[in-house]
Chains A and B, each alone.
Chain A
Amino acid sequence: DVKVTQSSRYLVKRTGEKVFLECVQDMDHENMFWYRQDPGLGLRLIYFSYDVKMKEKGDIPEGYSVSREKKERFSLILESASTNQTSMYLCASSPGGGKAFFGQGTRLTVV
């Protein structure tokens, strides 16, 4: 089975901290994605990557950056966490044009 693993299920960070969310997939998928999910807004795309070292902005990239140094790993970085970044973060991967597989999610609280 395809596995997409996010490093933490729950995180609490302070305003201004630099936060790293890690995602690893084990199926050699080209594409990887970071979404955030908020009540009433649904899932929204932050960034995606279609190859190592390649990244594209999604719908809401402000306040975030990403890193993809290896094919299996896609990291989301909050350079200076703010309270409005409190959310559920979901990572996904897919082969080109194929079905998406999601991680379990990281519930981040910024205090």
Chain B
Amino acid sequence: KNEVEQSPQNLTAQEGEFITINCSYSVGISALHWLQQHPGGGIVSLFMLSSGKKKHGRLIATINIQEKHSSLHITASHPRDSAVYICAVSPGYSGGGADGLTFGKGTHLIIQP
């Protein structure tokens, strides 16, 4: 079973700061997901990536398959970015089925004005 570790667990920063959240996993995967959860519970999928880098607005996600590591970056952070960010991985084997994601415990981010 894959072990997914995120760091830091909690992060408080000032508006405008560059934010980095890290995720490492123990076993090969087919894809890595970055999710965002706001208070109230709803989860939004930010990125799904299996190699390289993806960018969407102020968010950038990178993955290094060899090192089993991914980072989520937020540039010019804003209080509305305050949320829990969760890293999740899809199992590495193919062949059908729908095995669920394995999740990290999340990073609780607070951006202060």
Contact = CB atoms under 8 A, between A and B. Distances in A.
A is bound by B: yes
Interface of A: 9, 30-33, 35, 37, 40-45, 48-50, 56, 58, 88, 90, 92, 94, 96-105, 107
9 contacts: A9-B41, A44-B103, A48-B100, A56-B98, A99-B33, A104-B41, A104-B42, A105-B40, A105-B43
B105 A40 contact: yes
Interface residue SS majority, chain A = strand
Contacts of A35: 100
B45 interface: yes
Interface in B12-50: 30-31, 33, 35, 40-45, 48
A35 B35 CA distance: 14
B98 A96 contact: yes
Interface string B56-70: 000000000000000
Contact of B100 (A33, A37, A88, A105): A33
Contacts of A99: 33, 45, 48
Contact of A42 (B40, B99, B106): B106
Given A96-B96, A102-B45, 19 more contacts: A32-B98, A33-B98, A40-B105, A43-B86, A43-B103, A48-B99, A50-B97, A56-B97, A56-B98, A58-B100, A90-B43, A97-B90, A100-B33, A100-B48, A100-B88, A101-B45, A102-B43, A105-B41, A107-B41
Contacts of A96: 96, 98
Nearest to B42: A104
A43 B43 CA distance: 11
Contacts of B44: 102
A11 to B, nearest CB: 13
A9 B41 CA distance: 9
B45 A31 contact: no
B42 A49 contact: no
B101 interface: yes
Nearest to A47: B100
Contacts of B99: 48, 56
